[in-house]
Amino acid sequence: MKAIVNETKKFNAAISGAGAHDSRALEDIFEKCRHDERKMTTLVRAFCQAYLVDNKNRPLKMRPLQEKIVVTALTHPANGKQRKMAILAPRGSGKSYALSIAATVYMFFKRFRDLVFILAPSEDQASLIFNYVYRHFADNTFLDSLVSNYRFHNKPSITMKGGTVLRRAPLAPSNQGQAIRGQHPTFLIIDESPLIDDKLFIDNVEPCIIANKAPFINLGTPKSKENHMYRYLYDDAYADTFERLVFSWKDAIKCGRAYSAPYTEEEMLDKMVEWGEDSIYWRTEYECEFIESVSQIFNPDHVKACREAYSFVERGTKVHNCCVGVDIGKSVNSTVISVWAVEKDAKGNIARLISLEEINPRTGGHDIPYQRQRIVDTARDFGAEGIGLSRTEHMFFDPERIIHMREMILATSERARRAALDKLLPYQRQDFLNLFRIMDGLPVTIRLLDPPLHEFLPHEAEDITAFSKATGVTPETVAQHVERLKESNPMLGHRGCRLAITYPEISEMQARAIFEAIREVTKDGGVAVEPEIMIPLVVDEKEFNLLKNVIDAVAEEVFPDADSRPPYKVGTMIEIPRAALRAGQIAETAEFFSFGTNDLTQTTFGLSRDDSGNFIPAYRDKGVFERDPFVSLDVDGVGELIAIAAERGCATRKDLKLGICGEHGGDPASVVFCHEVGLDYVSCSPFRVPVARLATAQAALTEN
């Protein structure tokens, strides 16, 4: 810190000595640092300290990952060649923000007729870094005084008084690379480079690079290996020409005390469990791995080979046990739908491919709604039975919605909260309307809002600034709310039904959206809908009854005529040991139970699944645990609680519907146990569905 302070003083003195508007003198200072990474690091830190601020309005200190990106981008390579960089970093790690700092520093010191150019696969993505840079200049009086013009329409640009210009543009099939043709950038940033069509990139960007010899920075997360980014990173032919930086989520959270991590390790491990450690999404977006043909899991050769090798059953044939696999095509790729039957023969249980369909958006003109409907139709034709869990919290993170969600959280009165919730109601209602129409009468389980409110608030400086400008709430107030809502142990904190009891208007809005969507979809003889509404995290029947009363009251308001009121069920997720023990009392009014085995395991053992990985291997080695209880259900402890709850709940309510929700639902041994104690269904992440289906079939066949 002392070194930064000292260098900041030197930096300010140099600025003062050179003259704030003497671009040539400042460029000399900059160039002296560009051949020495250590000097550039000191200069960048000092610049951030002098002119940029974080979300608490303190001088900005970048994360180590961000600082590495910025310094490398601005320093001349040791071999004296053109600076070329290929950077992979996980989603949400602040990589785009880091390059906005690099662009800002470059423009500050190189004000004399340079051209900084930002390319991206879409207009929105190209705007991201551009807008960050704009905020850096516009939010600081001194930096703003160096700018002669900001333009946001018709070739957006930021022009310095010395003549340096920042421009942005998409590089997409719609413009065929026209945005970069004829340009001569001195500093070129390609954001989300792996998403840019490879032919467009080769035809338009690479000639520009060769001609201009400008610093050239590729940034993004991995997609297909059939891409320029993969070649730059892993082809030996590029080893001497490209600086290669590959960061995973573990690198993103490695921060010293002076830095603010983008995620906690706990949050990232939650994401890993949610998505599946072996899932393509997790491995590409957070581990930054290139997977073979990620953009198209089934390539045309695979599809052709399958069609030639398998005999298929007639569409509409009901299959007792099956799973449906979908590879969603984007842009020019096809969507492929496969159906597998689980059968038993002399050799045991096998999975047999019985249907395969390719939907080509280019040749068939099939848009997203068509593809979505086709997927649903296929699933239903072969016996799909509904949606096991719809997690409503994921519906609020869209940019159009999150601002109203944040308004609700920051509200200081019930009236203000309700005003914000009124803005969210149409979105939520449309979500359920689409869901019910797609499922067309099949059961859908909807869980009301579960996570603590702080998860919805902005944490990054740029997000706080944007929210402040959009709402008029000061950045200081937002930061105070973020700090106030932080919890030492949010997993056991103000979430789930506790949140709904404190602010019942949230559950009221969600219930209203559900019932108004039902009213719309069922009018004039439309589809029948039987939703199951889940109240999360209860520990007592009194909690459950308070919220069920809210739901029932809304149902009566939307459907005042009892005869026209649609059938619906209200149930709960059993994820706390006390709830399992009180199951008999809760079942007096609850119509279904879903055992949330992830949290039930944590609360039963008193172990955090995010932190216990440090010592569980030792426990297994010494025989304390036979298996990791977060991977395979602990039958003797957690399993006994499930069995007790099932027995007590069914003793109260004979028709009580029982299931589990969690990653244990995809573990074969856990599925067998669930079958043995009489559960009706298992629900798990999509990536584990095939395993769950196979295990379920095996359990049923073994019994027979």
pLDDT (0 to 100) of residue 256 = 40
C-beta contacts of 416-425 below 8 A and 24+ residues apart:
417/503, 417/505, 417/506, 418/505, 421/505, 421/506, 421/509, 422/509, 424/396, 424/509, 425/509, 425/512, 425/513
pLDDT of residue 583: 97
d(CA 680, CA 445): 14
pLDDT at 203: 77
The one-letter code for the residue type at 367 is D
Give tens-digit pLDDT for 141-173: 888 888 999 887 778 899 998 889 999 888 766
Host H or E run for residue 546: helix 541-558
Per-residue pLDDT of 277-303, as tens digits, reads 766 667 788 888 886 543 343 344 444
Compute CA 158 distance to the chain's CA centroid, rounded to the nearest angstrom: 31
pTM of the model: 0.51
Strand-pairing partners, residue 339, are 324, 355
Whole-angstrom distance, CA of residue 580 vs CA of residue 538: 10
pLDDT at 505: 95
What pLDDT shows up at residue 2? 46
Alpha-carbon distance of 128 to 572, in angstroms, equals 41
Residue 633 is classified by DSSP as -
| Residue written as token pair 């421009």 | 167
- Indicate the pairing of strand 115-120 with strand 84-88: unpaired
Kind plus residue range of the DSSP H or E element containing 398: none
Torsion angle, alpha carbons of 189, 191, 194, 199, to 10: -60
| Element at 628 (helix H, strand E) | none
Contact between 230 and 200 (Cβ < 8 Å):
no
**Residue 542, pLDDT score:** 96
At 173-184, the pLDDT tens digits run 655 556 666 678
Q: What is the largest CA-CA distance in the chain?
A: 88
Closest listed residue to residue 692, CA positions, set 672, 278, 600, 271: 672
Q: Let me know: does 54 contact 94? Beta carbons within 8 Å.
A: no
Return d(Cα 85, Cα 93) in angstroms, integer: 18
Q: Closest Cα to residue 678, out of 637, 641, 652, 650?
A: 650
Sort 210 into a burial class: Cβ within 10 Å, 0-12 / 13-18 / 19+.
exposed
Residues 628 and 273: their CA atoms lie apart, in Å, by 13
- Work out the number of other CB atoms within 10 angstroms of the CB of residue 22: 14
So what's the pLDDT on residue 266? Answer: 75
- Residue pair 213/188 in contact by the 8 Å Cβ criterion: no
Tell me if 360 sits within 8 A of 380, measured CB to CB: no
Q: Which alpha helices (H) appear in 570-667, and where do they start and end?
A: 577-581, 583-586, 597-605, 616-621, 638-652
Contact criterion met (CB below 8 Å) for 123 and 70: no
| Contacts (Cβ under 8 Å, ≥6 apart) of 552 | 570
Give the C-alpha separation, 229 to 368, whole Å: 28
CA-to-CA dists, residue 483 to 56, 60, 258, 500, 594, angstroms: 10, 18, 17, 21, 33
- Counting as low any pLDDT under 50, the low residues of the chain are 1-5, 7-8, 17-18, 255-260, 293-303, 306, 330-332, 347-349, 362-363, 685-691
- Residue 505, φ and ψ in degrees, nearest 5: -65, -25
Q: How many residues does the chain have?
A: 704
- Helix, strand or coil for residue 115? strand
SS (H, E, C) 294-358: CCCCCCHHHHHHHHHHCCCCCCCCCCCCEEEEEECCCCCCCEEEEEEEEEEECCEEEEEEEEEEE
Query: Do residues 26 and 18 touch, judged by C-beta distance below 8 A?
Result: yes
36 and 43 in contact (C-beta within 8 Å)? no
Coil vs helix vs strand at 144:
helix
Q: Which residue, chain included where needed, has tokens 């690091």?
A: 41
Burial of 237 (0-12, 13-18, 19+ CB in 10 A): exposed
Give SS3 for 270.
helix
Cβ burial of 399 (10 Å; 0-12, 13-18, 19+) is exposed
Q: How far apart are CA 581 and CA 576, in angstroms?
A: 9
- Per DSSP bridges, beta strands 335-345 and 348-359 are antiparallel
Please name every residue paired with 518 in a beta bridge, in sequence order, or none if there are none: none
